Structure 1
């Protein structure tokens, strides 16, 4: 058995000592790289100062580990690095920017290591091994410290969001309750432009499968919606509890409620977890619009939660029939009994009855077999056949009490299985 060649270890010590003697220069070089490459990190002078301290403390820790062969499990995360992660969390700087900074810092430091090895005067035969050992140590450290700062960032982001939401929540409730009527003072207190046109949201996570919930997930979804509509400023987000929040988006351009709002929100949620849901009001201007759009979003949320598993992922107050459904959701058990009285067996939760109900709704909306057939992409005779079948299932013609039938079908459409008869009954 042969002993390990000590030459590479001596080479690592030599190169580390040479770089350590120029610590200020090394730190400045890595810092300049990050400030130039990661735009999200260079907006605040105070954050730049703390980033320098974070780079310096990380480089010192790496050099100590290299020079004294200290294993990772015995290293403590540098205080400046953890504090920098906390400050980024408080500023809302996205996580990818932080992780990218560490990867760029790793590459910048290894470039300096390679340059130092080339001019160190070491035996060329050990240069490759020296660089390999230093690369392994630097890469392992970056992987380890990235996990530490990410955990610190996420914990701080949750804590900061809760505290900020509490403070904002007090100011926001005073506005919603009509206690604060000075629009400029209220805008300053919230840090939000109340003279804008507002799209109010309720955002929440469905409870399922024990997945962890984070307020940051809700706020990120709100930001995505704001980007989808091109908001004129950052959205206002206030946590209600651990799985839900209220939000307002100041719109740059007025948009109609209903389909346009639904489409914009659905675009924003396309790549996000299916358990994340949003209810929205109608875009309205000024302080009164801030309040009214919020009340409408609460109505839409009430409909979505009452619908249970039948709820749509995006529910908007501008959708026809939503406000009527919101009124009926206040006593859903009574509404269910009334629906069964009006529709009879047609209110059964089967695919066949669902097709019949959809055909009846379309026909009653247009009052024309041909128009209904065109909208449903069906043959004229198929529509007539389905309407006859609907009469048979109901037990009487759908036109005898048309208003009740239309309203009952509206309730079925919004609340689904919550108000329908189970298929085995």
Structure 2
């Protein structure tokens, strides 16, 4: 009730505005980030960029709320470290600097629009409200101008560093190979020191943002060693950074090389290598080089949609259909709901039922084999399968009729809450 009464001073109104932003910060940051991505699609390439954007936006919000309420001068403004890190990542990925600065201006407009509405609500109109709005606009403008200068410098410095080393030049060659603008493949092979005419296995790998660049580089070297242990020595390896925490990799392998994602995951775990890996299918020649890269990219998107708790290693051969379906996550969510019915509701009981049914169908409807794999009694499998089928409907309980339910179950295993329906609020 106190906030419904008009405040009697500019300082009080500004304090109430800041407190309200702080209270609702998660919702505000989510909505503001969505607005920036909508207006600037180049910033909406994948889940990693979205997470980095929201982290920087959150830190900027916290800093600007402090700046509104203190007497710090213009020279005291410092861009948050995560905002600077986001600028460097955009530079490494060739996202234009203009898009970054435009995002700050969109964010500034969104912050001021909301802040002025709060000021009118808490100030009750009149001179106090006007004074509070003027204060918020002026301090916000000072903060954003200074931060834009600092992230702009960070962007340009990183762009110069990144494009001037061999990795940057490699990336330019690879980009042209993938988009079809390279006409002299012999020159590309010579510069990249990689045989484009052989068979290839494309890989995307990434680490968490908490690692410093030097540690991330060591992790990627450890990944290459682990892959050699699992597969044997490749004819050649091409590693091209996407940014400080992500790489593209191609391995020149002989035809028929099997990809065992479980063996790779175990090798990485045994060595304590903190990396996630998406593996494309096998391809030959320049067309295969491009195709396996595209497949690895789709698998990577699937892994990112699944969140941090998903599988450490995913291979295209194991998840190809779901990776294609995940290109339209809304349509996939509808597909899962249509196929699984009430089993698509996100709760712990359904989790066990879905997993049991998924394994049961994967082992050709063998209760004994499913019980062994799940480490439960056969009767438990029978009970859970019967419950799950009752929730799905009779179409999944006939030979040949379970293809779509199996795909839907795999999607829920890989993506979890991204494709499940929240449990209804019973209050």
Whose radius of gyration is greater, 1 or 2?
1
Alpha-carbon separation, structure 2, partners of 1:249 and 1:323: 20
Matched, 1:382 2:380: yes
Cα distance 1:222–1:163, how it changes in 2: closer, same or farther (>3 A)?
A: farther
Match of residue 204, structure 1, among 206, 218, 221: 206
Aligned-residue offset at 1:336: 2.0
Aligned to 1:3: none
Cα distance 1:317–1:262, how it changes in 2: closer, same or farther (>3 A)?
A: farther
- Is the contact between residue 162 and residue 168 of structure 2 (CA under 8 Å) also seen in structure 1? no
Aligned to 1:174: 176
Aligned to 1:247: 249
Matched, 1:357 2:348: no
Alpha-carbon separation, structure 1, partners of 2:205 and 2:268: 13
Alignment TM-score, normalising by the size of structure 2: 0.53
Match of residue 188, structure 2, among 173, 186, 189: 186
Cα distance 1:286–1:397, how it changes in 2: closer, same or farther (>3 A)?
A: closer
- Is the contact between residue 261 and residue 313 of structure 2 (CA under 8 Å) also seen in structure 1? no
**How many pairs were matched up?**
263
Matched, 1:414 2:414: yes
Matched, 1:217 2:215: no
Aligned-residue offset at 1:412: 0.5
1:88-103 counterparts in 2 under 5 A?
A: none
Cα distance 1:197–1:272, how it changes in 2: closer, same or farther (>3 A)?
A: farther
Aligned to 1:313: 312
Cα distance 1:313–1:248, how it changes in 2: closer, same or farther (>3 A)?
A: same
Aligned-residue offset at 1:167: 0.7
SS state at 1:309 partner: coil
Cα distance 1:219–1:402, how it changes in 2: closer, same or farther (>3 A)?
A: closer
SS state at 1:330 partner: coil
- Is the contact between residue 199 and residue 284 of structure 1 (CA under 8 Å) also seen in structure 2? yes
Alpha-carbon separation, structure 1, partners of 2:257 and 2:176: 27
What residue ranges of structure 1 are gaps of 5+ in the alignment?
A: 1-157
Aligned to 1:323: 320
RMSD of aligned alpha carbons: 3.3
Deviations 1:48-101 (A, max 9, x none): xxxxxxxxxxxxxxxxxxxxxxxxxxxxxxxxxxxxxxxxxxxxxxxxxxxxxx
Deviations 1:142-172 (A, max 9, x none): xxxxxxxxxxxxxxxx958972121111211
Aligned-residue offset at 1:318: 1.5
1:23-422 counterparts in 2 under 5 A?
A: 163-180=165-182, 183-207=185-209, 210-214=210-214, 216-217=217-218, 219-228=220-229, 229-233=231-235, 235-251=237-253, 254-257=256-259, 260-264=260-264, 266-268=266-268, 270-274=270-274, 276-319=275-318, 322-365=319-362, 366-394=364-392, 398-399=396-397, 402-422=402-422
Alignment TM-score, normalising by the size of structure 1: 0.54
Deviations 1:272-326 (A, max 9, x none): 453x21111123333332222211111111111111234211111121xx12111
